[in-house]
Amino acid sequence: MKRARPTPPPATPTTSRSSPIPPLPTPPQPRHSSKKHQKIIFQPTNWAPVNLTQSELSLPLTFPTGQTFRWKQTGPLQYTGSLGRHLISLKHHKNGDVYYQIHHSPSQPAAKSALLSFLNTNISLTEMWHGFAAADSRFAELAQHFKGARVLRQDPLECLIQFLCSSNNNISRITKMVDFVSSLGDHLGNVEGFEFHAFPSLERLALVTEQQLREAGFGYRAKYVTGTVNALQSKPEGGVKWLESLRKLQLQMVIDSLCTLPGIGLKVASCIALFSLDQHHAIPVDTHVWRIATTHLVPELAGASLTPKLCGRVADAFVTKYGKYAGWAQTLLFIAELPSQRALLPSVTVNEKKSSKKRGSKAQHGPSNTEEGGQQAD
């Protein structure tokens, strides 16, 4: 599977990367509604602090790096997205602290609670990184330049559908697909030219046919989306509850369970586990992570072909090195590999990366990449 490489988010809503994909057709509307958008009147709240410093949350290092494809850049250092039926913006204050504004919500307290859960605010990034730095001098060096790269806690259904769209894909096309799916949900409002919707329910997704998705540019992924939706609907306890129940299981059971769904393999399952199911030591392994591992953790594997068995060895090496939050460490190390972020690094570190890339060029039998990629776009 190829891992897409994300480009920095557009400065304004009107700029976008060119794509050979034709414009997506208008998504099918619910049978009970004849209106695409219903006017919603809601007075945005004043900006309020999230109580996270930039060292705890850097928005540019968290949102455009491929964990999620539903949040849009709506201003300088500002990102907007929906959490359930809550439409929220986040931005950095002049001192770097993170503030939030609620544009639409049935309950402001519920919106704040959803936001804090989404941002994993019960986890101290600073304390965690102190432990990583003590175990790894290279991590300690990189952490000085990439403070605030946080792992999100997404809704499991949203996360699953997004990463089904990511298979052998690039960020531009993934975003178009995710936007199409999102537009099937209830309209929440417009922020700086972007239309935002609640993510559609499983029942709403079940109304979409494979043919409609193919016409929308999903290609072979269409059958995986509809197949997975059908599989989730067949769960006795309901698909959403089944996904949420995976948060209580051991990682291997989570991976095995997710891999029973159409179109989900080890890599995508690991992404979903890390970004939505509280499996903080899940390690999605692709070319970037493979190169990091064979250069710094398991050099004896350099030159080998990347197989599922070796993916397991790489994941074990990360956990041995970084412990129960190894997935968070891997996220920072991955971001540091992105060309768009290398300008933040001292020249000596950049030269080291170039050298390691040459040393690892013989091992490129695993997934390759065609575009600057996101945290785990497949």
Residues tagged active-site: 267
For residue 346, give the DSSP letter.
-
Nearest Cα residue to 166 out of 25, 52, 248, 67: 67
Handedness of CA 316, 322, 324, 330 (dihedral sign): negative
* Greatest C-alpha distance within the chain: 61
Nearest Cα residue to 150 out of 272, 50, 57, 274: 57
How far is 253 from 246, CA to CA, in rounded Å? 8
How far is 319 from 28, CA to CA, in rounded Å? 44
How far is 206 from 234, CA to CA, in rounded Å? 11
Question: Is-contact 2 169, C-beta < 8 A?
Answer: yes
Amino acid at 216: A
How far is 91 from 344, CA to CA, in rounded Å? 21
How far is 7 from 184, CA to CA, in rounded Å? 26
Question: Is-contact 97 52, C-beta < 8 A?
Answer: yes
In terms of Cβ atoms closer than 10 Å to its own Cβ (0-12, 13-18, 19+), residue 38 is: exposed
Kindly compute the dihedral angle of the four CA atoms of residues 16, 105, 199, 328, in this order, to the nearest 10 degrees: 80
User: Could you give the 3-state DSSP secondary structure of residue 308?
Assistant: helix
How far is 117 from 300, CA to CA, in rounded Å? 40
For residue 92, give the DSSP letter.
E
